[in-house]
Amino acid sequence: MGRDKSLLPVHGVPMAARVAAALRSAGADGVRAVGGDPDGLGRLGLVVVPDDEPGAGPLPATLTALRAATSPLVLVVACDLRDPDPGAMAATVAALGASASHVLGAVPVVAGHHQWTHAAWRLDALPVLAAARAEGLASLKRAAASVVITEVHGLDPSAFADADAPGDLVGGRVPGRVPPGNLPAMDVPEVDVAALAVHRDAGAPLIDVREPDEYSTARVPGAHHIPLGEVVERLDEVPTDGTVFVICARGNRSARAVAHYRTQGIDAVNVSGGTLAWIDAGHATESGPGSGTDPA
């Protein structure tokens, strides 16, 4: 996004404030923000808990939330929900509360996909998840395999839609960036991360269109970095003599980049599930600054 997206407005209200209001409407005893801009979030009336591992993803953030919690049940949700729904939040917590005590988490499931960034946890899940993190797991999904989970079905999918790019916001735009919403929309070819691993082993180029902080935290090894807002102006960095794979966090931003590349005659293919799916599958990642191997 080019800035802390929790403070970006949707309908004139910062996303973090909208999520906090929904949590309070759902009946939350207390609302805490994990990480982020303490001054900006403080001006919204939020108490900020420093993230134990800033930028390391949902698992460390969930652990930070559980360590800071004072209630036996804790709902941990993303700050970038476009339409936070108190009903979905309350239903998730209620599902966990109605479960036997050995059930340590509740997670909504939409179209077969677990919404791990909208999950409720018992405090008893903390030592189990922390042990998984200590063993080197980076994925909340993989760590959660160590605990008993109840699934929550039948919730409105719009309650879990997030904002990955400025074009996802109502009227959202970050100055100096090409609005991703202006890139052409079309059906794009996709592969999953298992297929990507095979293509990467064969030397296929990969473009990562996430923001710099996401890219430096964890990425597919060797991925070349071109943020989504720069795909139009940096077209000359993309190979034209073979298939190019494009990845983001979950697959939404990369689909937009692929759509644009294909209008320019580039055989681009989207990676469904994105970097998070790559991590969940247990594939190796790299971190730190750099642009990876130049695909051209």
Catalytic positions are: 248
The dihedral sign for the CA sequence 246, 252, 257, 263 = positive
Exposure letters 231-256 (e unless 16+ CB within 10 A, then b): beeeeebbbeeeebbbbbbbbbbbbb
Give just the sign of the alpha carbon dihedral 232, 235, 237, 238: positive
Extract the tokens encoding 60: 């460390």
